[in-house]
Amino acid sequence: TASTIPSPDSGDQPEVRKGLAGVVADVTAISKVDPETNSLLYRGYPVQDLAATQPFEAVAWLLWHGDLPTADELAGLRAVEREHRALTDDVRAAIDLLPTSAHPMDELRTAVSVIGAREVAGLSALEAAADPDETVARSARLFGALPAVVAYGQRRRRGLELVEPRDDLDFSANFLWMTFGTEPAPVVVDAFNRSMILYAEHSFNASTFTARVVTSTLSDVHSAVVAAIGALKGPLHGGANEAVMDTFAEIGSADAVPGWLDDALASKRKIMGFGHRVYKRGDSRVPTMKAALDTLVEHYGRADLAALYDALEAEFVERKGIYPNLDYPSGPAYHLMDFDTPTFTPLFVAARVTGWTAHVAEQQAANALIRPLSRYVGPERREVPTAAES
Ligand code: ACO
């Protein structure tokens, strides 16, 4: 017999908020995203001012502790970060088990899993959950360890040897050193440092919310980060910076933009790097990253790339009124630095791990299990057929 499927709107149940759009799930003191004023504050500081003046390590401290570090605090964090820079044998062995065709996000997710298992070895699940202070301590070690994983992954895929870290370089310069094995130009270090700061934190986005959901069950910080990496991999979230470069490669040059866009829009394609769930009048981070991209275009002499960038932006904004998000300028910036396209989202992880873990600590400090309701729209109760009927 046919079963009746209740309509999702039936009954006097609460409204379903698809995608949790517009739902305020909790309070946070970490960042303020304000689409009205088009601004983003980390612990009260405008992100563009932090990007212009601070090393990424200081912003990591700010997100975890609530204030910018003193000179001694910054030195302390830098010491921990340096201590964990080298790729450890267990992580290297785990990565080497994966095919070189594995996506770098899968490589990174695996690496964090190995690091997490080592961190809490011998502890029960309850002991592993830890308190916010211990979470921040573990997070600083993880923050130090991630660049080697990203750098080794790209080198492995290119058939190159591992490059050991250099203690005389700060986080960003050492990251580039371990990836490319050459000392990076200051303009490149500066653009990279800015990108890290801009990517570090953005309130309750999908991956951060994922990390908070995992934390809310009293799981540990590495489990939360593994889950967040999974959420960030998708092209509607972090994966968009990769997709921007794929789009550029498909279009080829600035003069091909109008024709390409005609076809793309006719087939209802989403143009990656444009649009945002919260910002509807432009992403507050874009002008800062675009300025950094401009310095790279000049440094590498790639006016052609800038022309394609400008042409697609102008044409798409004019036709759809949808503005670029941070992934639009960061994709080409990472491309110019010579990162392979699939490495872009792992770079986002290396930055966002600071925001994720700040949220893990904040969730731990005032936890409530995150467990929403659903409205059932499947078949009404029915009898399992007897053997004779089936
Ligand atoms: N290209 C084409 N059309 C778009 C785009 C886009 N990039 N973004 C939104 N639209 C259109 C939708 O098709 C939809 O049109 P319709 O009402 O005619 O169906 C309308 O604008 C509303 O879009 P939604 O997807 O419903 O809005 P939502 O708030 O859910 O979308 C999202 C936000 C997912 C980011 C979307 O803009 C998108 O898919 N963009 C491309 C992926 C991307 O760049 N993601 C990066 C996000 S930022 C970050 O992670 C740093």
Only one residue has tokens 């039936």, namely: 10
List the one residue out of 329, 360, 57 whose CA is nearest residue 207.
360
The confidence band for 361, taking pLDDT boundaries of 50, 70 and 90, is very high
- Return d(Cα 90, Cα 98) in angstroms, integer: 13
Per-residue confidence at 389, pLDDT binned at 50, 70, 90?
confident
Confirm or reject: Cβ of 102 under 6 Å from ligand 1: no
**Residue 278 CA, closest ligand 1 atom number:** 29
What is this structure's pTM? 0.93
Predicted confidence at residue 281, as pLDDT, reads: 85
pLDDT of residue 79: 98
Q: Whose CA is nearest to atom 14 of ligand 1?
A: 270
- Cβ(245) – ligand 1 distance below 6 Å: no
Active site residue 335: no
Please give the average per-residue pLDDT across 211-219, as a whole number.
Answer: 98
What is the distance between the alpha carbons of residues 133 and 153, in angstroms, rounded to a whole number?
A: 31
Could you tell me which residues come within 8 angstroms of residue 1 by beta carbon, excluding any fewer than 6 positions away? 382
Q: Model confidence at 9, in pLDDT bands (50, 70, 90)?
A: low
Q: Pick the catalytic residue: 202, 222, 276, 335?
A: 276
CA 25 to chain centre: 20
Q: What is the DSSP letter of 50?
A: H
Q: Which of 237, 299, 338, 340 is catalytic?
A: 237
What are the structure tokens assigned to 222, written together? 């590495």
Structure confidence by residue, pLDDT tens digits, 362-375: 999 999 999 999 99
Mean pLDDT on 213-242: 94
The pLDDT, as a whole number, for residue 11 is 59
Q: Give Rg (Cα) of the chain.
A: 23
Does 236 contact ligand 1 (Cβ within 6 A)?
Answer: yes
**Please, which residues have CB within 8 angstroms of residue 333's CB and are 6 or more apart in sequence?**
191, 195, 289, 292, 293, 296
Cα 274 to ligand 1 centroid, rounded to whole Å: 7
pLDDT one-digit tens code per residue, 239-292:
888 889 999 999 999 999 999 999 999 999 999 999 998 888 889 999 999 999
Reply yes or no on whether the pLDDT at 10 is more than 90.
no
At residue 1 the predicted structure's pLDDT band, cuts being 50, 70 and 90, is very low
Q: Is residue 191 pLDDT above 60, yes or no?
A: yes
Q: What average pLDDT does the segment 209-232 reach?
A: 98
- Average pLDDT of the residues in 171-200: 98
| 326 C-beta closer than 6 A to ligand 1 | yes
168 is a catalytic site residue: no
The DSSP secondary structure of 7-49, one letter per residue, reads -TT-TTPPPP-GGGTT------SSEEEETTTTEEEETTEEHHH
Q: Is the CB of 265 under 6 A from ligand 1?
A: no
pLDDT tens for 38-96 read: 899 999 999 999 999 999 999 999 999 999 999 999 999 999 999 999 999 999 999 99
